[in-house]
């Protein structure tokens, strides 16, 4: 398959992923509301796992002629960016968790600290969707697919000594 077609397919795939991240973010329940209907945004996670394979193969095709030295730079540098994005996201998660807890505790008849902790204890809560589906996590997702693609390319170049 030619690189132009692969680029268009990956662009379309990233567009779908942007839509999944947007819908996941929009499905966040405001802290003032009560929701007990589960978290339908988690369905998007399964789709994102499917797209990881698609993007890894796409990156590998697009980087077929890239020098191994550049791949090694990406292999070392991208995890640094992913760790920085992760730390930033953890700080944002802690701030938002405190915000939601304060709102829940200040509402009449909403429950106590145990209830507030139960709805903010993990990132998979419907109250915390905007912490799982946002611009930072989208770029972390793209960076992870790129890093895995680079790692597979480096393994492939090790298997072919003539390169």
pLDDT in tens, 121-150: 877 888 888 898 999 999 999 999 999 999
Structural domain count, the chain: 1
pLDDT band for position 163 (cuts 50, 70, 90): very low
CA–CA gap between residue 10 and residue 95 (Å, rounded) = 34
Q: Taking a C-beta distance cutoff of 8 angstroms, is the pair 103, 18 a contact?
A: no
User: What does the mean pLDDT of the chain come to?
Assistant: 87
pLDDT at 162 over 60: no
Burial category of 161 from C-beta neighbours within 10 Å (exposed 0-12, middle 13-18, buried 19 and up): exposed
Range of the domain at 22: 3-159
Residue 153: phi and psi, rounded to 5, are: -65, -40
Compute CA distances 103 → 98, 112, 121, 159, whole Å: 9, 11, 15, 56
Nearest to 55 by CA among 130, 124, 150, 133: 150
Q: For residue range 13-59, what is the model confidence (pLDDT) as tens digits?
A: 999 999 999 999 998 888 777 776 778 888 888 899 989 988 988 88
């Amino acid at each position: 398959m030619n690189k132009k077609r692969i680029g268009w397919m990956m662009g379309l795939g990233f567009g779908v992923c942007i839509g999944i991240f947007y819908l996941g973010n929009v499905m966040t329940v405001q802290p003032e509301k009560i929701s007990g209907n589960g978290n339908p945004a988690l369905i998007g996670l399964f789709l994102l796992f499917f797209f990881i394979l698609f993007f890894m193969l796409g990156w590998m095709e697009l980087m077929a002629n890239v020098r191994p030295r550049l791949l090694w730079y990406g292999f070392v540098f991208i995890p640094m960016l992913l760790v920085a994005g992760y730390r930033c996201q953890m700080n944002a998660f802690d701030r938002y968790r405190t915000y939601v807890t304060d709102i829940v505790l200040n509402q009449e008849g909403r429950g106590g600290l145990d209830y507030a902790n139960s709805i903010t204890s993990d990132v998979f809560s419907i109250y915390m969707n905007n912490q799982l589906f946002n611009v930072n996590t989208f770029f972390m997702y793209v960076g992870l697919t790129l890093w895995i693609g680079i790692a597979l390319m480096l393994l492939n170049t090790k298997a072919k000594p003539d390169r």
